């Protein structure tokens, strides 16, 4: 909401500097976006008259103007503007002057532009003739007549007069941020009311006292109003003005609109806009000649009706759109935009002034369906007090009368089936004090509320409050708590700490995620975070099978684009994208992980949401990294979570991974699952990324290693309780063995047999060498293990160890055909 | 004989001065003091001497022996030292060569920031609660007193999965879940991801993170809210931080406020970070609207509460001077590594 201080001063004298005004308004709830000072930065710019225009000898598009700037000598200025003419009054930036800019066709410069004399194509120019935008007005507010050229000043000004002085250009313009609960503040009167309450100074309402109702007859002679849909139109108020003279508005009116961000058009349109800004009430004006039968009917559109709006667009209407019609046809989309067929034209003589109240929801739907959001529709959507209609209509008429642009007919035609009553409630002094933690007296509160034009009755603790009907946000006691709080000042409220317990708990899942982050960071991995929504194509990119669960997406109805249109089911694609981006940027080694939510579609309704589960993804590439360096990280992380013996089961079918370098990560099933006949539970998968997938992500020929682990499963199996095991008292005995086995014999199987037959006294078994080559026949490999035997209760004898060790060797031979090699 | 002894002593001295290694020194020891050594030989021959001669020669021989032993010991020590020094010289390294370590990894800056915020509130007794990112319209809007026409409900502002289901636009629905499942005193924070229909640019992201808090108990006042957030700001941004509460509007709180903290870069003097104002807007808060408490079936005469929320990205950007929010989701390792 742009508030030009000069305009606000019509209603209230703040009595403080603009800076203090801003600060105090902020603290009472009108937050400041910006405060600009118009007219600042205009120096040595004067009013001048073009006495003579001569062609430029060397440039077709330039002319030489001889300017009278109130000095005995004429000043020569060269301009390229097409709209200059002899006798025109224009702003002249003299030699060594300063203007805010930007210069025509150039970008805005911080601090403005200095103008000095110079030569244009060989001809001396002692300054510059200025356009509106060169003097600091935004293009969108510049009147069309001045838009593509020099600002031609209307009216009488002394030649050589300082321009800002002569035109009254200096004014602070404050842009207030208006919160959605306060549509009443989207109006100068509303801001004046706030300022008055904030500063404790009186304010006056606009002048609506029409001096002479001297139009040709009474309004009701010209127009009748019928509301057929009172749900969507709470009030319709019409006035009639005759003898209209459509012309440019006086400068004071144009200036206010321009400061407030609107482009002046003509006096009638400008006045309707002025009153809209003043009261917050949108106004529309019809040419009465185009309102057939003088009848205004407020009614929904016919199905499929086609209507041309003021912006000359043809629009197809639907029956839930509210229209203004005359005896024969539609003439406006209610609260959104007028029709081309009833527009005010230069020769319009009599107008109907519409000041009506349309329901926010209806206007919102219509504007949305038509794709046509206007200043008026935005205001109706936010909600307007229907009690404003009459005053606003009167104000329009008063202003037309004031500038001599027409004669006002007597009376209003006002259809108002259910007048809006103020919402009167009881609020308690004690409650307000209790919620705010203060101790104000009733009298103090009453004075604050009355400053906001809230009537207060009742006695003792009870205040029976009557808000002005524009304050549609004042409904419950809490609303008054807020009024008192902001009028008292948030900064004056005491500062205390709540009593009560300081014991806090953290969800187990949160703790585990913390632990995983800590352990992976300790192993050198960096955490990443990526979007929860992805492209549905990501699963194609990572070669997920057609009917696989990873394709059961939760879909967004209104995504930003296809690439963000579904919720991710796995993290791996985002990880690959991240790795690829880093590789592209020549980062030669990356270890990264992400812990994030994944989403699985299921039946969706308000009682049933998709399954969400945290997932952990690790991705690595670079020198020294391979399947086993990743496996090492995974195992160490699992160990920290208390998962000591994960199983890695070779997997050759899963799309994203190299068929020979992929493993499902499993853990021993819970006792319940075991009872149901399941021995192991899968918690995730890891491996080298399939070369086709790597290529898809722009990492052709690179070896990428990833794993993805379901956090829910981790959480079920995690055991972070640590119980100490006594240190061994007795010595251990180590036996190293080398076995000759078939090439495809898994080390894991051998270990399993060793552990099984090593029994209680086998403390550890560790693979320390795998050898192929000389002395090992083709198709075989030699695997070497170190076995450590120990009894926690005694020193093992050589015989005892040998006995068990032989059993191990026998079993290896019998079960796996693993033959002991000579070491 | 005495001459011989003197000669031996001189010889030992001469030889030892030549010796360079432990081995050579030991050879000298054997040569002079060993069982077949020169001095031993002389001592053996003493039987032939008269008792007086034996006595004086014996004394002298012992003296010579002691002297040689002393010289040997010194020499052994000296060659040992020399050997060590030679070794040290050989083992000298260039200490300016770089250290070798597979460095620690680092948490994402948003995690770091969120952890810091959560830690402060945990120390003040707030438990962490979590909820789903895909939420019901009821929990995200209806229960939070956002009217049916509230603009945030628009498809242009909020991502929808269905008519009743959306991507949460705030973590406040977790507060609703908490109100529905717990009885006062309730003292929780809900950190997490939220989503809004914003096209990514330097200051907007369709996904970002929030930490919101809720305290509901008997007799909670707006003064308590001020005290709590003032304490948070001091713990988070430094003990000299000041706070400023400005009236604002949120559907689920009334009265509502925005909180500015004194700029933690310039201390309030005005700089680029605070755009010259000395203040940085960082929190939204207010007294929980009774309509929200009623969702949890609470007696609003008995219980009052406050709620607050802040954006993690915003804090991280201000704190670390990050000027483009998209950097957080690009995950360039050169960016992440800076947060070690």
A526 vs B333: CA distance, rounded Å: 8
Of B121, B221, B255, the CB nearest to A482: B255
Angle at which helices B222-237 and B109-123 pack, to 10 degrees?
130
Judged by CB atoms closer than 8 Å, whether chains meet at A517 and B107 is answered as: yes
pLDDT tens track for A492-544: 999 999 988 888 999 999 999 999 999 999 999 999 999 999 999 999 999 99
| Mean confidence (pLDDT) of chain A | 93
Judged by CB atoms closer than 8 Å, whether chains meet at B135 and A609 is answered as: yes
What is the residue-wise DSSP string for A107-164?
A: ---TT-EEE--EEETTEEE-EEE--TGGGT--GGGS-HHHHTS---B-S---TT-BHH
ipTM for this prediction? 0.87
A462 vs A448: CA distance, rounded Å: 15
Residue B322: other Cβ atoms inside 10 A? 17
Q: Cβ contacts of residue A645 below 8 Å, gap of 6+?
A: A667, A668
Average pLDDT over residues A22-26: 94
Q: Which helix (DSSP H) or strand (DSSP E) does residue A98 occupy?
A: strand A89-99
Report the pLDDT value the prediction gives residue B15, as an integer from 0 to 100. Answer: 87
pLDDT tens track for A276-289: 999 999 999 999 99
Pairing of strands A705-710, A224-227: unpaired
Residue holding tokens 């051998």? A750
Judged by CB atoms closer than 8 Å, whether chains meet at A567 and B134 is answered as: yes
CB pairs under 8 A between A and B: 239
Buried b or exposed e, range A176-188, using 16+ CB within 10 angstroms: bebbbbbbbbbbb
Of A181, A501, A529, the CB nearest to B125: A501
Q: Do A715 and A790 form a contact (C-beta atoms < 8 A)?
A: no
pLDDT tens track for A670-685: 888 888 888 899 999 9
Which residue in A189, A173, A167 sits closest to A89, CA to CA? A167
Min Cα separation B70/chain A (Å): 46
Judged by CB atoms closer than 8 Å, whether chains meet at A180 and B249 is answered as: yes
Asked if the C-beta of B229 comes within 8 angstroms of chain A's C-beta atoms, the answer is no
Phi, psi for A690 (deg, rounded to 5): -55, 135
CB-based burial label for A60 (10 Å; 0-12, 13-18, 19+): exposed
Which residue in B35, B53, B55, B52 sits closest to B44, CA to CA? B35
Q: Do A237 and A227 form a contact (C-beta atoms < 8 A)?
A: no
Buried b or exposed e, range A715-749, using 16+ CB within 10 angstroms: bebbeeeeeeeeeeeeeebebebbbbbeeebeeee
B283 vs A414: CA distance, rounded Å: 47
A362 vs A383: CA distance, rounded Å: 11
Min Cα separation A360/chain B (Å): 9
How far CA B278 is from CA of A177, B3, B273, in Å, comes to: 20, 100, 9
Judged by CB atoms closer than 8 Å, whether chains meet at A498 and B257 is answered as: no
A217 vs A783: CA distance, rounded Å: 113
Chain B 164-203, CB below 8 Å of chain A: which residues? Answer: 164-165, 167, 185, 187, 193, 195, 197, 199
Of A361, A528, A556, the CB nearest to B159: A556
Asked if the C-beta of B258 comes within 8 angstroms of chain A's C-beta atoms, the answer is yes
- Three-class DSSP labels, A383-410: CCCCCHHHHHHHHHHHHHHHCCCCEECE
pLDDT tens track for B97-112: 998 888 899 999 999 9
Min Cα separation A757/chain B (Å): 39
- Per the structure block, which two tokens stand in for A128? 């510059």
Query: Which of B125, B211, B246 is the best residue to mutate to test the A interface, defined by the most A CB atoms within 10 Å of its own CB?
Result: B246
A595 vs B340: CA distance, rounded Å: 19
Average pLDDT over residues A131-144: 88
Min Cα separation A381/chain B (Å): 9
**DSSP code, position A378:** H
Report the pLDDT value the prediction gives residue B1, as an integer from 0 to 100. Answer: 72
Phi, psi for A591 (deg, rounded to 5): -125, 120
Report the pLDDT value the prediction gives residue A606, as an integer from 0 to 100. Answer: 61
- Per the structure block, which two tokens stand in for A319? 């029956």
Q: Cβ contacts of residue A767 below 8 Å, gap of 6+?
A: A747, A751, A783, A784, A785
- Per the structure block, which two tokens stand in for B214? 């809720």
Q: Do A792 and A755 form a contact (C-beta atoms < 8 A)?
A: no
Judged by CB atoms closer than 8 Å, whether chains meet at A478 and B257 is answered as: no
Report the chain A residue with the minimal C-alpha distance to residue B188: A504
- Per the structure block, which two tokens stand in for A85? 């003419």
- Identify the segments of chain B with pLDDT beneath 70: none
Q: Which helix (DSSP H) or strand (DSSP E) does residue A362 occupy?
A: helix A360-370
Average pLDDT over residues A636-649: 93
Average pLDDT over residues A687-716: 95
Query: Which of B168, B255, B303 is the best residue to mutate to test the A interface, defined by the most A CB atoms within 10 Å of its own CB?
Result: B255
Of A181, A501, A525, the CB nearest to B105: A525
Judged by CB atoms closer than 8 Å, whether chains meet at B159 and A559 is answered as: yes
Q: Do A613 and A598 form a contact (C-beta atoms < 8 A)?
A: yes
Q: List chain B residues with CB under 8 Å of A568.
A: none
Angle at which helices A442-451 and A188-199 pack, to 10 degrees?
150
Of B130, B134, B228, the CB nearest to A554: B134
Secondary-structure breakdown of chain A: helix, strand, coil percentages, each rounded to the nearest 5: 30, 30, 40
Which residue in B244, B159, B220, B231 sits closest to B194, CA to CA? B159
Q: Do A11 and A207 form a contact (C-beta atoms < 8 A)?
A: no
Average pLDDT over residues A724-738: 93
Min Cα separation A701/chain B (Å): 21
Query: Which of B124, B126, B134 is the best residue to mutate to test the A interface, defined by the most A CB atoms within 10 Å of its own CB?
Result: B134
Pairing of strands A455-457, A526-527: unpaired
Of A501, A527, A530, the CB nearest to B107: A527
Of A31, A436, A554, the CB nearest to B222: A436
Min Cα separation B283/chain A (Å): 15
Of B103, B105, B123, the CB nearest to A520: B105
Report the chain B residue with the minimal C-alpha distance to residue A491: B245
3 state DSSP class of A816: helix
Across chain B, where does the E strand assignment appear?
127-128, 134-136, 165-167, 186-195, 207-218, 243-250, 253-262, 279-288, 303-311
Chain B 38-97, CB below 8 Å of chain A: which residues? Answer: none
Q: List chain B residues with CB under 8 Å of A485.
A: 222, 247, 255
Report the chain B residue with the minimal C-alpha distance to residue A23: B246
Q: List chain B residues with CB under 8 Å of A503.
A: 125
Min Cα separation A257/chain B (Å): 27
B253 vs B144: CA distance, rounded Å: 9
H-state helical runs in B34-99: 38-44, 51-91
Judged by CB atoms closer than 8 Å, whether chains meet at A524 and B105 is answered as: yes
Min Cα separation B93/chain A (Å): 26
Judged by CB atoms closer than 8 Å, whether chains meet at B105 and A527 is answered as: yes
Report the pLDDT value the prediction gives residue A808, as an integer from 0 to 100. Answer: 94
Of B134, B150, B334, the CB nearest to A599: B134
Query: Which of A380, A477, A529, A624 is the best residue to mutate to test the B interface, defined by the most B CB atoms within 10 Å of its own CB?
Result: A529
Of B104, B129, B150, the CB nearest to A524: B104
Which residue in A230, A146, A252, A283 sits closest to A416, CA to CA? A230
Min Cα separation B136/chain A (Å): 6
Asked if the C-beta of B244 comes within 8 angstroms of chain A's C-beta atoms, the answer is yes
Q: List chain B residues with CB under 8 Å of A509.
A: 130
Of B167, B221, B289, the CB nearest to A478: B289
3 state DSSP class of A337: strand
Report the pLDDT value the prediction gives residue B133, as an integer from 0 to 100. Answer: 96
pLDDT of residue A823 exceeding 80:
no
Q: List chain A residues with CB under 8 Å of B122.
A: 504, 506
pLDDT tens track for A456-470: 999 999 999 999 999
Of A179, A434, A495, the CB nearest to B226: A495
Q: List chain A residues with CB under 8 Å of B199.
A: 560
Q: Do A666 and A680 form a contact (C-beta atoms < 8 A)?
A: yes
Min Cα separation A787/chain B (Å): 30
pLDDT tens track for A368-388: 999 999 999 999 998 999 999
CB-based burial label for A129 (10 Å; 0-12, 13-18, 19+): buried
Which residue in A70, A78, A26 sits closest to A49, CA to CA? A70
Sequence length of chain B is 340
Q: List chain B residues with CB under 8 Å of A606.
A: 136-138, 164-165
Q: Do A599 and A580 form a contact (C-beta atoms < 8 A)?
A: no
């Amino acid at each position: 909401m742009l508030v030009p201080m000069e305009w606000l001063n019509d209603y209230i004298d703040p009595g403080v500097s603009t800076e203090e005004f801003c600060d105090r308004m902020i603290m009472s709830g009108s937050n400041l976006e910006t405060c600009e000072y118009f007219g600042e930065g205009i120096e040595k710019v004067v009013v001048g008259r073009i006495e003579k225009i001569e062609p430029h000898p060397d440039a077709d598009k330039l002319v030489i103007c001889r300017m009278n700037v109130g000095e005995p000598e004429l000043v020569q200025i060269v301009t390229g503007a097409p709209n200059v003419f002899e006798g025109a009054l224009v702003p002249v930036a003299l030699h060594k002057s300063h203007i805010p800019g930007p210069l025509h066709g150039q970008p805005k410069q911080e601090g403005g532009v200095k103008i000095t004399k110079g030569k244009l194509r060989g001809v001396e120019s002692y300054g510059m003739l200025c356009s509106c935008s060169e003097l600091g007005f935004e293009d969108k507010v510049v009147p069309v007549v001045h838009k593509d050229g020099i600002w031609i000043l209307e009216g009488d000004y002394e030649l050589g007069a300082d321009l800002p002085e002569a035109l009254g250009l200096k004014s602070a313009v404050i842009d207030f941020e208006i919160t959605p609960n306060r549509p009443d503040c989207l109006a100068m009167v509303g801001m004046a009311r706030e300022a008055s309450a904030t500063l404790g100074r009186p304010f006056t309402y606009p002048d609506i006292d029409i001096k002479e109702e001297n139009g040709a007859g009474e309004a009701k002679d010209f127009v009748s109003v019928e509301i057929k849909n009172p749900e969507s139109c709470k009030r319709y108020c019409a006035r009639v003005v005759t003898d209209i003279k459509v012309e440019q508005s006086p400068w004071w009116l144009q200036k206010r609109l321009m400061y407030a961000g609107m482009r002046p058009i003509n006096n009638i349109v400008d006045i309707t806009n002025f009153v809209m800004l003043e009261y917050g009430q949108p106004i529309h004006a019809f040419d009465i000649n185009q309102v057939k039968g003088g009848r205004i009917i407020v009614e929904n559109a016919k199905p499929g009706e086609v209507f041309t709006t003021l912006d000359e667009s043809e629009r197809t209407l639907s029956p839930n759109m509210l229209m203004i019609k005359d005896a024969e046809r539609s003439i406006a989309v209610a609260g959104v935009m007028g029709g081309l067929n009833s527009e005010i034209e230069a020769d319009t003589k009599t107008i109907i002034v519409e000041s009506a109240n349309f329901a926010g929801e209806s206007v919102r739907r219509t504007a949305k369906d038509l794709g046509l959001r206007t200043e008026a529709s935005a205001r109706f959507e936010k909600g307007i007090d229907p009690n404003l209609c009459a005053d606003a209509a009167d104000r329009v008429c008063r202003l037309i009368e004031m500038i001599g642009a027409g004669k006002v007919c007597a009376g209003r035609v006002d259809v108002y089936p259910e007048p809006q009553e103020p919402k009167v409630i009881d609020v308690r002094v004690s409650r307000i004090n209790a919620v705010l933690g203060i101790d104000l007296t009733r009298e103090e509160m009453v004075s604050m509320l009355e400053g906001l034009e809230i009537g207060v009755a009742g006695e003792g603790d009870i205040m029976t409050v009557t808000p002005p009907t524009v304050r549609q946000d004042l409904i419950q006691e809490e609303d008054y708590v807020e009024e008192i709080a902001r009028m008292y000042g948030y900064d004056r409220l005491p500062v205390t700490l709540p009593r009560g317990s300081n014991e806090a708990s953290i969800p187990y899942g949160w703790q585990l995620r913390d632990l995983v982050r800590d352990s992976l960071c300790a192993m050198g991995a960096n955490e990443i975070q990526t979007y929860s929504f992805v492209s549905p194509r990501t699963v194609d990119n990572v070669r997920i099978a057609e009917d696989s669960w990873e394709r059961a997406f939760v879909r967004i109805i209104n995504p930003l684009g296809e690439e963000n249109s579904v919720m991710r089911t796995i993290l791996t694609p985002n990880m690959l994208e991240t790795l690829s981006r880093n590789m592209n940027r020549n980062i030669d080694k990356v270890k990264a992980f992400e812990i994030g939510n994944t989403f699985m579609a299921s039946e969706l309704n308000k009682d049933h949401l998709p399954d969400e589960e945290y997932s952990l993804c690790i991705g690595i590439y670079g020198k020294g990294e391979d399947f086993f360096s990743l496996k090492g990280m995974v195992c160490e992380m699992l160990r920290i979570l208390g998962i000591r013996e994960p199983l890695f089961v070779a997997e050759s079918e899963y799309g994203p991974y190299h068929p020979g370098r992929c493993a499902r990560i499993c853990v021993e099933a819970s006792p319940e699952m075991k009872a149901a006949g399941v021995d192991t539970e899968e918690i995730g998968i890891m491996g080298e990324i399939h070369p086709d997938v790597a290529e898809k992500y722009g990492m052709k020929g690179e070896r990428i290693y990833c794993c993805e682990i379901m956090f829910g499963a981790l959480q079920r199996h995690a055991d972070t309780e640590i119980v100490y095991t006594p240190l061994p008292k007795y010595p251990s005995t180590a036996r190293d063995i080398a076995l000759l086995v078939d090439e495809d014999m898994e080390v894991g199987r051998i270990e399993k047999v060793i552990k099984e037959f090593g029994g209680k006294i086998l403390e550890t078994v560790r693979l320390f060498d795998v050898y192929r080559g000389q002395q090992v026949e083709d198709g075989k490999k030699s695997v070497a293990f170190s076995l450590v035997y120990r009894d926690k209760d005694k020193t093992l004898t050589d015989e005892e160890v040998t006995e068990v060790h032989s059993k191990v060797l026998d079993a290896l031979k019998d079960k796996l055909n693993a033959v002991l090699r000579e070491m | 004989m005495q001459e011989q002894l003197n000669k031996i002593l001189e010889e030992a001295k001469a030889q030892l001065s030549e010796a360079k290694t432990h081995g050579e020194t030991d050879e000298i020891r054997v040569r002079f003091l060993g069982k077949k050594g020169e001095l031993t030989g002389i001592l053996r021959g003493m039987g032939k001497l008269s008792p007086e001669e034996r006595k004086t020669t014996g004394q002298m021989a012992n003296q010579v022996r002691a002297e040689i032993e002393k010289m040997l010991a010194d020499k052994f020590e000296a060659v040992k030292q020399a050997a060590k020094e030679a070794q040290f010289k050989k083992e000298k390294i260039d200490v300016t060569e770089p250290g070798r370590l597979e460095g620690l990894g680092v948490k994402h800056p948003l995690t770091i920031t969120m952890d810091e915020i959560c830690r402060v509130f945990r120390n003040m007794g707030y438990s962490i609660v979590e909820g789903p990112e895909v939420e019901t319209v009821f929990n995200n809007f209806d229960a939070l007193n956002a009217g049916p026409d509230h603009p945030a409900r628009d498809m242009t502002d909020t991502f929808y999965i269905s008519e009743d289901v959306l991507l949460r636009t705030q973590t406040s629905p977790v507060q609703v879940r908490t109100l529905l499942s717990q009885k006062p005193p309730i003292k929780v924070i809900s950190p997490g991801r939220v989503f809004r229909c914003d096209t990514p640019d330097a200051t907007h992201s369709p996904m970002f993170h929030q930490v919101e808090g809720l305290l509901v108990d008997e007799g909670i006042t707006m003064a308590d809210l001020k005290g709590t957030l003032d304490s948070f700001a001091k713990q988070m941004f430094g003990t000299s931080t000041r706070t400023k509460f400005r009236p604002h509007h949120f559907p689920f709180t009334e009265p509502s406020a925005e909180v500015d903290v004194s700029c933690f870069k310039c201390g309030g003097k005005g700089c680029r970070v605070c755009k010259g104002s000395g203040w940085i807007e960082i929190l939204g808060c207010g007294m929980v609207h009774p309509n929200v408490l009623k969702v949890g079936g609470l007696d609003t005469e008995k219980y009052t509460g406050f709620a607050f929320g802040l954006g993690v990205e915003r804090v991280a950007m201000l704190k670390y001077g990050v000027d483009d929010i998209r950097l957080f989701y690009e995950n360039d390792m050169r960016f992440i590594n800076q947060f070690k």
